[in-house]
């Protein structure tokens, strides 16, 4: 009876090796998928922040995500993320302030708000 148990044990060990290889391969595949989902999520959040700050307005949301994934492939995504975090909202740029000043909007008698006049060097 001991020989039957040893034979079965050897068979189980042979099968175990193949199953462990399959599981290891599947595990590696799943790790890659999770990393891809996490990268996609990170890039989408960063692209949303870029939209909210008015950065790269000529690009669509999906184009921003693609550019961010490209930056990750080059090892630059952390730097881009930091730059976006440090960038001020681009909604009202200096050009818009200058345009408003030239049109005569504002609170002073000359039509230019004193603060705008000061910023523009006037």
Claim to verify: residue 49 and residue 109 sit in the same structural domain: no
Other CB atoms within a 10 A radius of the CB of residue 79 amount to: 11
Q: Would you say the C-alpha torsion 12, 18, 23, 24 has a positive or negative sign?
A: positive
116: containing domain: 92-122
Q: Tens place of pLDDT for every residue, the chain, 122 residues?
A: 566 778 888 888 888 988 999 999 999 999 999 999 999 999 999 999 999 888 888 999 999 999 999 999 999 999 999 999 998 776 555 556 556 656 655 444 455 566 766 666 65
Claim to verify: residue 18 and residue 30 sit in the same structural domain: yes
In the chain, the number of structural domains is: 2
Burial class (CB in 10 A: 0-12, 13-18, 19+), 85: exposed
Claim to verify: residue 85 and residue 97 sit in the same structural domain: no
Claim to verify: residue 111 and residue 86 sit in the same structural domain: no
Q: Global pTM? A: 0.61
Place of tokens 């870029």: 50
Q: For residues 49 and 89, what is the distance between their CA atoms, to the nearest angstrom?
A: 10
| DSSP assignment of 16-75 | HHHHHHHHHHHHHHHHHHHHHHHHHHHHHHHHHHHHHHT-STTS-HHHHHHHHHHHHHTT
Q: How far apart are the first and last CA of the chain?
A: 103
């Amino acid at each position: 009876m001991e020989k039957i148990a040893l034979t079965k044990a050897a068979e189980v060990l042979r099968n175990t090796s193949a199953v462990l290889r399959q599981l290891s391969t599947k595990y590696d595949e799943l790790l890659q998928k999770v990393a891809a989902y996490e990268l996609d999520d990170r890039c989408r959040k960063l692209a949303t922040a870029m939209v909210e700050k008015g950065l790269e307005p000529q690009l669509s949301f999906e184009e921003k995500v693609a550019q961010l994934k490209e930056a990750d492939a080059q090892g630059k995504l952390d730097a881009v993320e930091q730059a976006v975090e440090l960038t001020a909202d681009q909604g009202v740029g200096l050009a818009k302030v200058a345009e408003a000043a030239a049109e005569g909007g504002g609170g002073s008698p000359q039509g230019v708000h004193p603060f705008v006049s000061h910023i523009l060097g006037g």
